[in-house]
Structure 1
Amino acid sequence: MSQTNGKLSKKDHILKAALRLFSRQGFHATTTKEIAKESGVAEGLLFYHFGDKRQLLLQLVRSFSFAPRIAGEEERLKKLQLEDALVEYGLSYLRFLKEHSDYLMLIWSPEMIQDPEVSGEVLQLIGSIHRAGESMLASGPAGERLSPVTREAAMTMLTSSILLQFLLHSRFRGEAAWDEEASVRELVRLLLHGLQGAPKA
């Protein structure tokens, strides 16, 4: 989201308010009047910036992407050993998920899963996450020998595993301790070395 002089713009306030309301009570159940009240702006400003509630939703879905964050770290990550780079990538992705749990609740809600246009936007966001990781895999000595299909499958496995662990620990918070870094490192190790490299029981 854009910022002006270190402060959120009115447009950003509307997006943040809409996200809170959509994730709590659903897109269809939320009115533009409620969004305006929650964001502290006149309802007309919402229409000025977004046109209608539907366009606001689509802008909101597009606004939260992990890709720009990881793109900013890509040069630094490429200087690391591949395993360390993937661990850093995984931990950064996990931090992103934690910061945007309301967004996850919204895009994975039954209401949004059944929306083809939103699902299309989410698919593009997922693709951008994988592409960022794939470029790291390709830059390593082992990664250069991998086909694009294999690199895509590897990043899908890593990010989906992290997402699933995050969702489980969010749902059953406090019931099991979770060493995030050790967990991500083990996922990466399994990804790079396979089960043949796993320690014997």
Structure 2
Amino acid sequence: MISKKDKILEASLELFTKKGYTATTTKEIALKSGVAEGLIFYYFKDKNELLNYLIREFSFMGSLQNEIKELSKMEPYPALIKFGQLYANFLSCNKSFLTFIWSPEIVQNTNVSKDIVDFINTMGEQVSSFLIRTSSCTVEKKTIETAASMFLSTILTHVLVEERKTDKMPIENNDYIEEIAMFVLKGMQNSH
């Protein structure tokens, strides 16, 4: 059974995505989620706190907290692949969240944009750590950061393009992620 707080979060995300953050009222959120408006303020001080909570809870790194320990115990290459698979799955399952965080209204919100950039940087750092552990040679920090960015952005693009195509890409997500990981690692090793 879905909790009332989760109903509020789901309704908020849906309304923010369709109408925009500013145009959505807490009254509309309450109506959509089937709760009293006062309950929203029981969980969240104001609409801005609700927005910040949504950003944290629906972010990829926020959803990954349970898997981080498991990934850190794995060998680096399988951990990189698993991280990529989790990321692709997150992107596929959270399209409305992606639409929302990249909407002009949210991009222009400096506080929220800062949080999103922090999450993106954290993802890059996580991938960088897998790449450092996987690499058989010493690689400059800038090269590792570029490789991590390429890994993440390529998966993002793959998921978004795959969704738009009527004929599916000839390679499945897992195979695609393994190919990207190999290209990134080979590119790093050939960079010096």
- Give the shorter-chain TM-score range: 0.7 to 0.9
Structure 1 ranges of 4+ moved more than 6 A:
none
Partner SS, residue 83 of structure 2: helix
How many Å separate the matches in 2 of 1:110 and 1:54? 17
Equivalent of residue 37 in structure 1, options 19, 28, 31 = 31
After TM superposition, give the deviation of residue 169 of structure 1 in Å: 2.1
Kindly report the root-mean-square deviation, in angstroms, between the aligned alpha carbons of the 2 structures. Answer: 2.3
Amino acid at match of 1:75: S
Q: Is the 8 A contact 1:22 1:30 kept in 2?
A: yes
Q: Match for residue 174 of structure 1?
A: 166
How many Å separate the matches in 2 of 1:196 and 1:152? 14
**Share of identical aligned residues, percent?**
37
Q: Is the 8 A contact 2:71 2:79 kept in 1?
A: no
Q: Match for residue 149 of structure 1?
A: 142
Q: Within 5 A, what are the aligned runs for 1:69-148?
A: 69-77=66-74, 79=75, 82=77, 84-142=78-136, 145-148=138-141
Is 1:185 the counterpart of 2:178? The answer is: yes
Query: Structure 1's 196 and 11: CA in aligned 2 closer, same or farther, altered over 3 A?
Result: closer
Partner SS, residue 115 of structure 2: helix
Q: Is the 8 A contact 1:94 1:162 kept in 2?
A: yes
**TM-score, scaled relative to structure 2:** 0.85
Deviations 1:169-195 (A, max 9, x none): 22x142443521222222112111139
Is 1:15 the counterpart of 2:9? The answer is: yes
Q: Is the 8 A contact 1:71 1:132 kept in 2?
A: no
How many Å separate the matches in 1 of 2:183 and 2:141? 19
Q: Is the 8 A contact 1:87 1:184 kept in 2?
A: yes
Is 1:194 the counterpart of 2:187? The answer is: yes
How many Å separate the matches in 1 of 2:4 and 2:139? 46
The number of residues matched between the two structures is 186
Partner SS, residue 194 of structure 1: helix
Structure 1: runs of 5 or more not aligned: 1-6
How many Å separate the matches in 1 of 2:140 and 2:131? 10
Equivalent of residue 165 in structure 1, options 155, 158, 169 = 158
Query: Structure 1's 8 and 141: CA in aligned 2 closer, same or farther, altered over 3 A?
Result: same
How many Å separate the matches in 2 of 1:70 and 1:150? 26
Structure 2: runs of 5 or more not aligned: none
Q: Is the 8 A contact 1:50 1:56 kept in 2?
A: yes
